[in-house]
């Protein structure tokens, strides 16, 4: 049977957000939790909270995994609630390790997310360097 | 450092100058671990990105994306002892040594976090 993150996460502790409230902001201390969206939608906004930066994160989506898996001291992204409300499942690292041992697809999801974020950040740095060189 | 489950990963030895994979070529679906020696990762547009040594790994993108290799991996030490895993072995490791895979993902996530922090600092 295919791995269903939404189903796996539904019995975990929850956090509720209202429209416009932040799950966390860039620079916040990292509480070492990642979150699975159970209902509602989150959106990533930029450092100045002025522009939408990433895609919408809908039910079954995962956020906070980079900071948690890297044990970063602070949050490196900002997410806020886009819908009237959102319900999130809180996933601690040990829970993530357990889930990955039972469902390798979850570890693949985490690896894919890390690779995608690494590639996106490196692309931004390369583009920025190119702009500086041509200026 | 990530120590792989050595009994599941068959090691092989390659000589200096050996190219494990080249930028732009189709992926063979393997990621590699370094047991000894050094491997240089480079891109045509950027030159050498990093030089890796024992306990480190490369080519992990092959496990999650069926796309061409995005960099070239070349042995730069006199010889190097390497191991490689495919998706099937990855799944085996997840079930039998989840701590190892958790650490491996932690290393990639740390690379990502460093790059993301650099983007924020330069914004």
- Report the gap between the CA of A129 and the closest CA in chain B (Å): 10
pLDDT confidence of residue B123 = 74
pLDDT confidence of residue B5 = 54
**How many other CB atoms are there within 10 angstroms of residue B53's CB atom?**
14
CATH code for the domain in which residue A19 is found: 2.60.120.10
- The count of structural domains within chain A is 1
Least confident span in A77-81, B24-28, B42-46, B104-108: B42-46
Q: What is the distance between the alpha carbons of residues A36 and A63, in angstroms, rounded to a whole number?
A: 7
> What value of ipTM does the predicted structure carry?
0.89
- Predicted confidence (pLDDT) at residue A2 exceeds the cutoff of 90: no
pLDDT confidence of residue B88 = 86
- Report the gap between the CA of B78 and the closest CA in chain A (Å): 30
Tell whether A91 is covered by a domain. yes
Tell whether A12 is covered by a domain. yes
Smallest Cα–Cα separation from B21: which of B85, B69, B53, B81? B69
Q: Do A76 and B113 touch (CB under 8 A)?
A: yes
Tell whether A74 is covered by a domain. yes
**Contact between A124 and B119 (Cβ < 8 Å):** yes
* Interface of chain B toward chain A, CB-CB under 8 angstroms: 45-46, 60-61, 63-65, 70, 90-91, 94-95, 98-99, 101-102, 104-106, 108-113, 115-120, 122-123
**How many other CB atoms are there within 10 angstroms of residue A73's CB atom?**
10
Taking CA–CA distances from A66, the nearest residue in chain B reads B109
Which residue blocks in B7-97 are alpha helix, DSSP H?
A: 61-64, 87-96
Domain range for residue A61? 5-130
The pLDDT of B5-34, averaged and rounded, is 88
Question: Cα-Cα-Cα-Cα dihedral of B13, B55, B97, B26, to 10°?
Answer: -60
Token look-up 């050498």 returns B48
> A4-8, A22-26, A44-48 — which one is most confidently predicted on average?
A22-26
Q: Give the residue with greater pLDDT, A97 vs B1.
A: A97
Domains and CATH numbers, chain B: 11-122 (2.60.120.10)
């Amino acid at each position: 049977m295919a791995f269903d993150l939404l189903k796996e996460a539904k019995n975990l502790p929850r956090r509720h957000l209202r429209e416009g409230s932040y799950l966390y902001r860039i620079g916040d201390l990292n509480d070492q939790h990642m979150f699975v969206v159970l209902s509602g939608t989150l959106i990533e906004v930029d450092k100045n909270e002025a522009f939408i930066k990433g895609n919408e994160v809908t039910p079954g989506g995962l956020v906070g995994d980079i900071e948690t898996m890297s044990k970063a001291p602070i949050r490196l992204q900002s997410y806020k609630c886009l819908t009237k409300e959102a319900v999130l499942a809180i996933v601690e690292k040990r829970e993530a390790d357990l889930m990955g041992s039972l469902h390798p697809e979850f570890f693949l999801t985490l690896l894919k997310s890390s690779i995608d974020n690494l590639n996106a950040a490196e692309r931004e740095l390369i583009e920025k360097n190119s702009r500086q060189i041509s200026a | 450092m990530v120590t792989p489950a050595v009994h599941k990963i068959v090691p092989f030895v390659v000589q200096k100058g050996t190219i494990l994979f080249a930028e732009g070529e189709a992926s063979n679906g393997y990621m590699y671990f370094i047991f000894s020696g050094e491997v240089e990762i480079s891109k045509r547009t950027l030159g050498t990105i990093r030089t890796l040594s024992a306990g480190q790994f490369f080519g992990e993108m092959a496990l999650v994306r069926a796309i061409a290799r995005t960099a070239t991996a070349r042995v730069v030490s006199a010889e190097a002892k390497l191991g490689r895993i495919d998706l099937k072995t990855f799944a085996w490791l997840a079930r039998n040594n989840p701590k190892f895979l958790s650490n491996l993902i932690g290393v990639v996530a740390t690379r990502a976090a460093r790059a993301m922090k650099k983007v924020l600092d330069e914004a």
